[in-house]
Structure 1
């Protein structure tokens, strides 16, 4: 409750409160609170206390509104940054590299949906359940990058082949900085990682009726390394589209 109060007090503007009220059906309560919006507007010292009052009211009367707070983008980011241990305890954050925010990298709805699905599955069912969706997202993303650059690809090209093609021909992946030799070594290792993710997806995840699945720690390793790859490629090519 304390972490949530701090996040709301710090992040919510007047407009945020009103939008949240409409979204949750609690507009009348928020507007009708004697001090909440007024103390926020004037920067009064009792604003934090007003936020506590509202949170206690929702906790006692509308628990679903507390869940809506936790799912609000501003509040969730603040809590993940300031109180990750609490989010982990609530099952809302795993010990993983955050999913990359994809901006202007693909016109494909499949890629965006797969990324969103993978995060949902990670939280709800654990890391092994989201490997297939991450694999789909990465495959679609690499295909789209190749198309954006005019690279000729086979319709059935694997993730490994697409990554190698991008490394060889994408203009933004030709300049790797002052330590290019070492970065090339890392990228070579990532090529092997991608190959392994491909195999794991087919034989150690829930993509197929496999009897022997990865353990949680190993599955989380796959999730983390895939997210890391997304982050790196996206940071290199995000200005090219």
Structure 2
């Protein structure tokens, strides 16, 4: 999603969802999430127009959106920045609502659907984890305009899904595991580690190659990030990466994350 190219389209989408679905409680939750409760409550018409269904309600929404989104313009920097966008999108679940209620506006905001695995992951049970949903949104927002953030977020997405599969949560010492070890442990736990595939099993060699490719994706995305192509390490002169490579990396990461998510959920259901 290239939000910097036309911020008014993004704001239109957000205002459309708010106008169609919000009540007072929704406004208060959004205000608490973005530290703008006073802005919302003190607007002279916003909540009154909502309560009475007045014609100026949409205009009132537009009045408060800059504060709610943390909108800023910086001299010498092209476009608008929304410092609170992640928090707003988390509250609104905007992508799914637009896809179901306004496909054309969805296309303008989120593109032409060339990353369907992000859709699949975002609708999954695992996406209810705040960190996973946040990484998915960051990838969407940055894949066109901030490739380093997209690659860094793809690595963090994979790391979060693998840790979820392994039941590693929080910041305890046992959660500090590098990506190759995480992938190895997840493969063993899920019964797909190439070393555990018997030679007499159907398609044994092919299965080893497929899982080896999956592991290579996980490790390759982590290595791109560690090489300075993604956010997460301080880099004074970040190497450039072409757009095709960025989309390949994040798409592959999303496919791998979806695979681990599906296999992890199936394994949990079997255990139950």
TM-score, shorter chain, exceeding 0.5: yes
Q: Distance in 2 between matches of 1:198 and 1:75?
A: 29
Counterpart of 1:19? 25
Q: 2:109 aligns with which of 71, 76, 87?
A: 87
Q: Counterparts in 2 of 1:56-205, with a 5 A limit?
A: 56=59, 58-59=61-62, 61-64=63-66, 71=89, 72-80=91-99, 82-83=103-104, 84-88=106-110, 95-96=114-115, 97-98=117-118, 100-101=121-122, 103=125, 112-113=130-131, 116-117=134-135, 119-120=137-138, 123=141, 126-147=146-167, 157-170=177-190, 185-203=209-227, 204-205=229-230
Cα pair 1:127 1:223 within 8 Å, conserved: no
Structure 2 residue runs of 5 or longer lacking an equivalent are 1-8, 31-39, 70-84, 169-173, 197-201
Count of residues in Structure 1 that have an aligned counterpart in Structure 2: 202
Counterpart of 2:36? none
SS of 2:118's equivalent? coil
1:55 matched to 2:82? The reply is no
Deviation at 1:85, TM superposition (A): 2.2
Cα pair 2:190 2:263 within 8 Å, conserved: no
Deviation at 1:193, TM superposition (A): 1.6
Counterpart of 1:236? 263
Deviation at 1:78, TM superposition (A): 2.1
Deviation at 1:145, TM superposition (A): 2.8
Q: Distance in 2 between matches of 1:75 and 1:105?
A: 14
Q: Per-residue displacement from partner, 1:176-205 (whole Å, max 9, x unpaired)?
A: xxx976666433321222222122111122
Cα pair 2:159 2:179 within 8 Å, conserved: yes
Deviation at 1:10, TM superposition (A): 11
Distance 1:171-1:211 versus aligned 2 partners, 3 A rule:
closer
SS of 1:206's equivalent? coil
Cα pair 1:105 1:141 within 8 Å, conserved: no
RMSD after superposition: 4.5
Scaled by the length of structure 2, the TM-score of the pair is: 0.54
Scaled by the length of structure 1, the TM-score of the pair is: 0.60
Structure 1 residue runs of 5 or longer lacking an equivalent are 35-49, 149-153
Q: 1:207 aligns with which of 205, 217, 232?
A: 232
